[in-house]
Amino acid sequence: MFQSQIYKVKNNHYRQLSLLRHDVKGLLSPALLQADRIILNKSADKKIIQSAESIASSIEKTSDYLNATKKIDNLF
């Protein structure tokens, strides 16, 4: 019985983390798309493009970090 309760708690925990990762990535996607759009704009100012590259890089690192948390979840 105790094992069953632990399983339910762990399963709920993993599900909640999965939803959180999904939601955060969804919130960041529009910003990444806009940053990419600026980067590809040939007429944009060089400083603006550099800022967009920095934003895109930060978002991609955040996404990589969130993906890495999946691997940690699978260890337990």
Please choose, from the candidates 56, 73, 76, the residue with its C-alpha nearest in 3D space to the C-alpha of residue 16: 73
Distance CA 71, CA 76 (A): 9
Quote the CA–CA distance of 34 and 28 in Å, as a whole number: 10
What pLDDT, in 10s, does the model give residues 50-75?
A: 999 999 999 999 999 999 988 776 66
Model pLDDT, residue 58: 98
Name the pTM for this structure.
Answer: 0.80
Q: Which residue has the tokens 């260890």?
A: 75
Cα within 13 Å of Cα(20), Cβ side: 11
